[in-house]
Amino acid sequence: MENIEMNSNAPAAAKEEPKKVIFSGVQPSGLLTIGNYLGAIKNWTTLQDAYDCLYCVVNLHAITVRQIPADLRRRTYETLAIYIACGLDPDKNTLFVQSHVPAHAELGWLLDCYTMFGELSRMTQFKDKSAKNADNVNAGLFTYPTLMAADILLYQADLVPVGQDQQQHIEICRDIAGRFNGIYGNTFKIPEGFMPKTGTKIMSLADPTKKMSKSDSNENGYVAILDPRDVIIRKFKRAVTDSDTVVRYAEGKDGVNNLMNIYSCFTGKTHEEIEREFDGRGYGDFKMAVGEVVADGLTPVQARFNELMKDKAYLEEIMRRGAENAQRRARRTLSKVYRKVGFVEI
């Protein structure tokens, strides 16, 4: 065999940096809206090549509000199908259902014991949901943030894509992780909230001072991802604006500002470009144009969704594959946590 002289001065091969981990999820508790699409799912698709992404259908969180079991099962399939239809590649992302990974509930309980009552009582979402569901203010609703913290910390997530209204949940997650690390040493990575530049908060079409919600009792307030074209256009025609007639982005023009944000997200145009495009044209033209670009943008998503819903076996295979990967990763963290607190594992 020929002897090959090694050059000890040759530079070592550059070690590839591991990708940062991203975790997020959506509840299967209602019809997903363009608020979910623009504020979360559409932005996720831009991250899947550069990051190690886990996206979950968070059905454990969904039952803090009473659900019809058959509807919850159907919407679990639908939410996963929407993820894929919106462009999330199951080969590039870990897509799974929360209840398929028991470690979420296990770590959720453990973190309950490291979360202060006062911290949870100050959470805005608990106050809001308690007011809306006065006949069902359950313990799960109160400890919702610790389960969300468990979702994130199980996977040692670096970043969590969130809207503005979710920032408080990231803060308490960081507090819980920091408290645990302070007691037991470095265990959890401290996550950062990640807010995309556009589309972070889409407002109701009926009341633009409130966030668009899939649980809105006024169906004209939201546009569902799966709404038919004529319904989408009709809802935008009825969108609340103001007594002015000029399409411009300005303080006090909440309805027009919201429509401009939506139009910008679907077209990529800036507010200045939109103002020039509709200079001299009234709100009627503008609202029609917004409805049409939204309908056009959702057409391929709806077509792909319908294909996927005809193949439940494929969706279940994605669920199984995602759960296996997520469970393997989650158990590593949970096992470390159990050793730290003194649990005996067999």
Catalytic (active-site) positions: 129, 211, 214
Q: Which residues sit opposite 262 in a β-bridge?
A: none
DSSP class of residue 164 equals G
SS3 string, 234-285, reads HHHHCCCCCCCCCCCCCCCCHHHHHHHHHHHHHHCCCHHHHHHHCCCCCHHH
DSSP class of residue 342 equals T
Cα gap 155→15, rounded to integer Å: 23
Name, in order, each residue with C-beta under 8 angstroms of 40's C-beta and a sequence gap of 6 or more.
24, 26, 161, 163
- Residue that has been written with the tokens 């819903």 in this structure: 309
E strand or H helix at 288, and its extent? helix 283-309
The strand ranges marked E within the chain are 21-26, 52-57, 93-97, 159-161, 192-194
